[in-house]
Amino acid sequence: MVSGCICLMTLTAGATSPTYLIAIGNNAGAANEVELLYAERDARQVTRVFQELGEVSGKTTMLLAGEDASTVRSALLDLNARIRAGGETNPKLIVFYSGHADSKALHLGNTRLDLTELRAIVKGSSASVRLLVIDACRSGAVTRVKGVKATPLFKLTYDTGQSAQGFAILTSSSAGENSQESDRLRASFFSHHLVSGLRGAADKNMDGKVTIDEAYQYTYAQTLKSSGRSLELQHPTFEYGLKGKGGVILTRPSNSKGRTGRLRIETPGLYLISEGSESGPIAMEVAVKKGGTVVALPHRKYFVQRRGLNSYREYEVTISSRRTTRLDTHPYRVIDYDRLVRKGGSQRGAVHGLTLMGGFRGQRIEGMGTTPMALAGYAVDFSTLSLGLRLGLSQFETPTHNEVQTLTERDWSLGIMVQRFIDFDLVSISLGILVEGLVFEQQFQTRGEAPARRAFGFSYGALLGIETTLWTGLALRLEGGPTSSVFEQAVVDGGEAVGQELRTPLTWSANAGVVIRL
Amino acid sequence: MNLRSWSCLATMISLLSCGKPLVDESYRGTPLFEFEGQLDVQGRFEPGVHNIRLSIFWLPDGPATIRQHWVEQSSASVVVDFPSSFAVKVFEPPKPAHYFQSQALGRLVLYDDLDQNGQYSRDEPIVGEAPNQGLVYTPPDHDEAQSFTTVSFPQGFSLIQYPLRCRTRPPHSLDAGCALLIGAPCQTLDDCCKQADECEPYGAVCIPENSGRQRFPGGYCVARPNSRVCTPHERGRDLGEGMVAARPLSINYVGRILTMFVKRCESSAECRDEYVCEPAYQVCLPDRPVRLAMNAEYEPGSICVEDTNQEMPSME
């Protein structure tokens, strides 16, 4: 069985007991393993969230980045000795690891630390609550694959003490699965969601505290969801044995301290919180299930993006130290998916849309004048171009010859459009070309003989458009431009058709309507 | 361009040639009837000052000459310049409301389109017409017995000679079969008889090609009414060998109106080249263009003649 990431935890209930943290990160693995990018960063982020929101101080924290097995081993043993000597009531021990591993050992550069040894060291600690998190990885390409070799699942054992004590194992992936890290998140999926959960996203009952159960449930769901968009699914596992009453509190986002503030989110949805600006590092990807969720973040300015079904809502907020900022009171702008696709900011490769428009077209045949037209279209917006099909109908009736005869003309068109959109704050401008096939039908109401006529042709032209969003998924579009049509026209002499000639009149069209993006 | 591009281009071009080409607002359809003519000017008309149009006016009152009741078919209206020839195409039949009895009778009228709206307005002056020609429209369901003109017209439009013999049947009792070459071309009298010496005594007459106002292309053999070789003949009965069906008609010959036997016909196929079967009288006559006479002092005449002597009206 495979144990991709393994967590050992010993738990003890207790609100004010000290917590000791060892965070180990190592980007380097064995000689045949590709160096990771974010393993050491994961360890720093975990350290940071526990220091800001947990009962961990600088004195009870140890960050081991890029260290070998002997250093880690020594650090763990020293800490065990320190806890044992300290005589504190119900201390907690949390050990976090991010890096390469296989089914038997962590790979700390070229050195190995056996899992059985690690497990024995943690389990042997005198701390009441013992927690080991291993996010083992091996690198992939764009989204690097963190993995371990196939092996029987790490076997769990549980302590059965009378007090709130326990021993648990949390794995970032199940047997046979790999764990992944993301360039977009600049972290491994698992570590990122664990940190987000600890910052408050996992606070399911919204009591301002994140327990081990809440952290696991949140991390499991979000890791599975994120990995679903990547190479393969990743199922974190979490098993623990706990004796005693009450949940084990890992962090308290509502009681942020130091330079940490809080962001209160009222509207459920998926939020992407980036530092500084849209292009800044992603601080948190948080799925808010209920209104009133509070997440704790370091004091600074953030770009918050709420990803809805058909649009993004973007905020810019500043989190102040020890203060709660309500996101919903901030102004925002709605960005439809078509814009996101065009600027490459969406995971959707294309946005489909329907267009309904009406307008006018200049005369193609002398004397016919400006005629009304209706258009129905379908378009696909890609990042660089928009491709569309459109069906048009123009129908008009005109009396001729002192109103003794009536001509009814119906023009059908089926065209292909290629457009390039340029997005501004309030409007989008489009430039494009259009090629259409045309079918003309002329019918005459007369007491004489004038059989119906049907002719074929085509037209080509330029399209200039301007579009503004009315509502999510609904936009108003004005569009038009010059077009040239090519068709055969009869030469009429004395009222009678006596010949034909090829006509290529230059005319125009102008339309207005709505675009419904699907 | 590669082969595929050429194929696409060829497909588009061939597609263009499919169907019927589009028409503009000047299109009126397929002409139901057309005729040509010439315009004669009598009196003073300054070219460019007037906007003279030729149009068909239907006569719901029949022979009455109340202009106010005439109805123009403006779709057949054309501008005429003078001196000139003209061509008129008729694209639609008259409305039943414009019929007189079971047919529509039309005059070819010239008017000055003062407001230049392409149609006749009540205060615009009528300045001329075709004095001896007009138009008859016979609907498909026409009953000959109900005909005002009492003659059998082919269905549709017919250009006819005015004035008409109105309200009385044509003098079928005067129809005859003649042992002369009635209707044949001639340069001398001898051309009208099978035996040259028979012509004069038998009452044959050769009307040379240019004998008066009316031109008879190639000459035209007729017979005097008292010809000894012309015997009464009822239509529908067999003519004898070498006999030609004839009918008396008053024609202008060397300055005099004379009644002559001319070749009778049912259709123009029975007439020589450049001759047509005149529908109202059913005789072969020269296919002459419509002649319009323009005169500022124009007063319309009746399209009917009183029939008192059972003779055909004269043909000027």
Q: Are the beta carbons of B25 and A367 separated by less than 8 Å?
A: yes
A404 close to A422: Cβ distance less than 8 angstroms: no
- E strand or H helix that includes residue A466: strand A453-471
Q: How much is the ipTM here?
A: 0.73
First to last CA, chain A: 44
Give per-residue pLDDT as tens, B42-91: 666 666 667 888 899 999 888 777 778 889 988 788 887 766 778 888 98
Q: Are the beta carbons of A454 and B19 separated by less than 8 Å?
A: yes
Q: What angle do CA A131, A137, A138 make, to 5 degrees?
A: 165
A92 close to A127: Cβ distance less than 8 angstroms: yes
What is the DSSP code string of A219-274? Answer: HHHHHHHHHHTSSS----EEEEEE-SSSPPEEE-GGG--TTEEEEEE-S-EEEEEE
Nearest-CA distance B87 → chain A (Å): 9
- E strand or H helix that includes residue B38: strand B33-42
B212 close to B254: Cβ distance less than 8 angstroms: yes
Q: Which residues of A touch B93 (CB under 8 A)?
A: 447-448
Residues contacting B135, CB < 8 A, separation 6+: B33, B56, B90, B104, B105, B106, B107, B108, B157, B158, B159, B160
Q: Are the beta carbons of A440 and B22 separated by less than 8 Å?
A: yes
Nearest-CA distance B52 → chain A (Å): 17
Of A404, A407, A454, the CB nearest to B20: A454
Q: Quick one: which of B106, B47, B57 has its CA closest to B80?
A: B47
* Gap between the Cα atoms of A230 and A317, Å rounded: 30
B300 close to B126: Cβ distance less than 8 angstroms: yes
pLDDT of residue A161: 36
Nearest-CA distance B46 → chain A (Å): 25
Give percent of chain A above pLDDT 70. Answer: 82
* Gap between the Cα atoms of B158 and B144, Å rounded: 15
Q: How confident is the model at residue A156 (pLDDT cuts 50, 70, 90)?
A: very low
For β-strands A282-288 and A237-242, DSSP reports them as unpaired
Q: Are the beta carbons of A490 and B23 separated by less than 8 Å?
A: yes
**Chains A and B: how many Cβ contacts under 8 Å?**
127
Give per-residue pLDDT as tens, A203-216: 888 888 888 778 88
For β-strands A179-182 and A187-188, DSSP reports them as antiparallel
Q: How confident is the model at residue A394 (pLDDT cuts 50, 70, 90)?
A: very high
Comparing alpha-carbon positions, the chain B residue that sits nearest to A411 is B22
Q: Quick one: which of A375, A367, A356, A385 has its CA closest to A476?
A: A356
Q: Which residues of B touch A435 (CB under 8 A)?
A: none
Q: Are the beta carbons of B21 and A500 separated by less than 8 Å?
A: yes
Instruction: Give A276's Cβ-side CA count (13 Å radius).
Output: 3
Give percent of chain A above pLDDT 90. Answer: 31
Q: Quick one: which of A345, A289, A276 has its CA closest to A317?
A: A276
Nearest-CA distance B28 → chain A (Å): 5
For residue B291, CA distances in Å to B41, B61, B84, B128 come to: 10, 24, 11, 11
B231-247: b or e for each residue (b if 16 or more CB lie within 10 Å)?
A: eebeeeeeeeeebbbbb
Q: Are the beta carbons of A367 and B26 separated by less than 8 Å?
A: yes
Which domains does chain A possess? 9-250 (3.40.50.1460), 260-330 (2.60.40), 351-517 (2.40.160.20)
Nearest-CA distance B300 → chain A (Å): 26
pLDDT of residue A432: 95
Q: Which residues of B touch A489 (CB under 8 A)?
A: 21-24
Nearest-CA distance A502 → chain B (Å): 9
Q: Within an 8 Å CB–CB cutoff, is residue B32 touching chain A?
A: yes
Q: Quick one: which of B30, B31, B11 has its CA closest to B20?
A: B30
Q: Which residues of B touch A397 (CB under 8 A)?
A: none
Q: Which of A407-421, A458-472, B12-26 has the lowest mean pLDDT?
A: B12-26
Comparing alpha-carbon positions, the chain B residue that sits nearest to A438 is B16
What is the DSSP code string of A24-54? Answer: EE-S--STTSPPPSSHHHHHHHHHHHHHHHS
Give yes or no for residue A337 having a pLDDT over 70: no
Give yes or no for residue A220 having a pLDDT over 60: yes
Q: Are the beta carbons of A495 and B91 separated by less than 8 Å?
A: yes
Q: Quick one: which of A39, A42, A3, A21 has its CA closest to A236?
A: A3
Nearest-CA distance A457 → chain B (Å): 5
Task: Kindly state the tokens that stand for A369.
Answer: 């004048």
Q: Are the beta carbons of A489 and B31 separated by less than 8 Å?
A: no
Of A447, A486, A490, the CB nearest to B16: A486
Q: Are the beta carbons of A447 and B93 separated by less than 8 Å?
A: yes
* Gap between the Cα atoms of A297 and A253, Å rounded: 9
Nearest-CA distance B301 → chain A (Å): 29
Residues contacting B36, CB < 8 A, separation 6+: B85, B86, B87, B88, B289, B290
Give per-residue pLDDT as tens, A41-71: 999 999 999 888 888 888 889 999 999 999 9
Of A398, A450, A486, the CB nearest to B29: A450
> What is the phi-psi region of residue B283: left when phi exceeds 0, alpha when psi lies from -120 to 50, beta otherwise?
beta
Helices (H), B190-286: 199-202
* Gap between the Cα atoms of B257 and A16, Å rounded: 143
* Gap between the Cα atoms of B137 and B41, Å rounded: 28
B223 close to B203: Cβ distance less than 8 angstroms: yes
Give per-residue pLDDT as tens, B255-287: 777 788 999 988 888 999 999 888 877 889 888
A129 close to A16: Cβ distance less than 8 angstroms: no
For residue A98, CA distances in Å to A119, A187, B81 come to: 16, 10, 103
Q: How far is CA B38 from the centre of its chain?
A: 13
Q: Are the beta carbons of A457 and B16 separated by less than 8 Å?
A: yes
Q: How confident is the model at residue A149 (pLDDT cuts 50, 70, 90)?
A: very low
User: Best residue in A364, A403, A404, A459 to probe B by mutation, most B CBs within 10 Å?
Assistant: A404
pLDDT of residue A350: 80
DSSP assignment letter at B162: S
For tokens 């017409």, the residue is B129
Q: Are the beta carbons of B91 and A450 separated by less than 8 Å?
A: yes
Q: Which residues of A touch B89 (CB under 8 A)?
A: 494-496
* Gap between the Cα atoms of B144 and B152, Å rounded: 6
* Gap between the Cα atoms of B20 and A373, Å rounded: 23
* Gap between the Cα atoms of A180 and A259, Å rounded: 31
Q: Which residues of A touch B16 (CB under 8 A)?
A: 456-458, 486-488, 502
Q: Are the beta carbons of A495 and B28 separated by less than 8 Å?
A: yes
Q: Which residues of B touch A402 (CB under 8 A)?
A: 74-75, 118-119
For residue A61, CA distances in Å to A128, A173, B162 come to: 17, 26, 126
Q: Which residues of A touch B30 (CB under 8 A)?
A: 448-451, 496
> What average pLDDT does this structure show over A454-461?
92
Contact residues, B window 76-115, toward A, CB-based 8 Å cutoff: 78, 87, 89, 91-93, 95
Q: Are the beta carbons of B16 and A401 separated by less than 8 Å?
A: no
A352 close to A392: Cβ distance less than 8 angstroms: no
A399 close to A358: Cβ distance less than 8 angstroms: no
Burial, B209: exposed, middle or buried (Cβ in 10 Å; 0-12, 13-18, 19+)? Answer: middle
Split chain B (316 residues) into runs of 10 and give each run's mean pLDDT.
70 71 89 85 67 89 80 83 78 90 88 88 86 87 71 82 66 77 91 82 87 83 85 76 84 76 89 88 84 74 61 47
Q: How far is CA A310 from the centre of its chain?
A: 13
Q: Which of A232-246, A471-485, B34-48 has the lowest mean pLDDT?
A: A232-246
* Gap between the Cα atoms of A476 and A497, Å rounded: 44
- Arithmetic mean of pLDDT over chain A: 81
Write down the pTM of the prediction: 0.60
DSSP assignment letter at A200: I
Q: How far is CA A413 from the centre of its chain?
A: 40
User: Best residue in B9, B24, B34, B55 to probe A by mutation, most A CBs within 10 Å?
Assistant: B24
The residue count of chain A comes to 518
Task: Kindly state the tokens that stand for A30.
Answer: 């064995």
Task: Kindly state the tokens that stand for A229.
Answer: 């968009």
A104 close to A114: Cβ distance less than 8 angstroms: yes
Burial, A409: exposed, middle or buried (Cβ in 10 Å; 0-12, 13-18, 19+)? Answer: buried
Nearest-CA distance B7 → chain A (Å): 16
Beta-carbon count within 10 A of A108 CB: 27
* Gap between the Cα atoms of A341 and A352, Å rounded: 11
Q: Quick one: which of A472, A469, A196, A189 has its CA closest to A308?
A: A472
